[in-house]
Structure 1
Amino acid sequence: MAIAQCPSCNKPISSKHKTCPHCDFDVANMDEESLHREAVRKRVRKQQKIMNYSFLALILFLGGFLYMYWQQPVEGTWEMLATQCAIGVGLIWYLVNRVILVVLKKKK
């Protein structure tokens, strides 16, 4: 008996298990094609999750920028600080997510 990793969830399982106890993935009937399909499916899911995060970051950035543009908060108030934080966090979060997407696409 050896410890292996589930191709679906990457959690440790026994090599004698026929299905993964964590995600119920059928490990017994794995061939090369199904391993490749599962790896592609997992990579696409991860890319979609990162893409959703980048959209949220963009919304945060644009929300802060548009609030600053339309409301024109006074310098030194909490509104100005909140909009500047939203712009900064949204921009950095967006850029980090885009870099992660580029790295994931190069790993093909």
Structure 2
Amino acid sequence: MAIIRCPKCAKSISDKHKQCPHCESNIAELNDEQVLQLQREQRIKKKQMFINHSFLALILFLGGFFCLYFLQPQEETLQWYAYTAAIGIGCIWYLVNRIILVTLKKKK
């Protein structure tokens, strides 16, 4: 008995299952081409999720930067800390997402 990934939901299941207990997908009826197609779709969904996250991170970074630049709050105030935190979190979040996307691209 081996643990495999469901081609539809990508959760771990036993290779003895004929139907995925998570997504109720009938695994026994799938041929190799259908399994590859489902895996491609999962990979595309995962990439799209990280692309969306990187856009959100970029918006957070730019929002913090523009607020800090145009509103010019006094240093050491709550607003100043919030804007600099938004810049830092957005930058790190963006970089992490981009690194993940590059590694996903190399796994092809």
Supply the RMSD in Å over aligned alpha carbons.
1.3
- Measured in 1, the distance between the counterparts of 2:50 and 2:69 equals 28
How many angstroms does 1:3 deviate by? 4.6
Q: What are the superposed Cα offsets for residues 53-87 of structure 1, whole Å, 9 maximum, x if unpaired? A: 10110111011011111210001111111111100
- Measured in 2, the distance between the counterparts of 1:14 and 1:99 equals 32
Equivalence for 1:63: 63
Q: Is the 2:59–2:90 Cα contact (8 Å) retained in structure 1?
A: yes
* 1:102 pairs with 2:102: yes
Equivalence for 2:12: 11
Identity percentage over the alignment? 48
Q: Is the 2:11–2:22 Cα contact (8 Å) retained in structure 1?
A: no
SS of the residue corresponding to residue 29 of structure 1 reads: coil
* 1:79 pairs with 2:79: yes
With over 3 angstroms needed to count, the CA separation of the structure-2 counterparts of 1:58 and 1:85, relative to structure 1, is same
Equivalence for 1:20: 20
The answer for unaligned runs of 5 or more in structure 1 is none
In structure 1, what residue type is equivalent to 2:41?
R
Q: What are the superposed Cα offsets for residues 29-76 of structure 1, whole Å, 9 maximum, x if unpaired? A: 121111110110110010011111101101110110111112100011
TM-score where L is the length of structure 2: 0.90
How many angstroms does 1:4 deviate by? 3.6
Equivalence for 1:48: 48
- Measured in 1, the distance between the counterparts of 2:11 and 2:81 equals 42
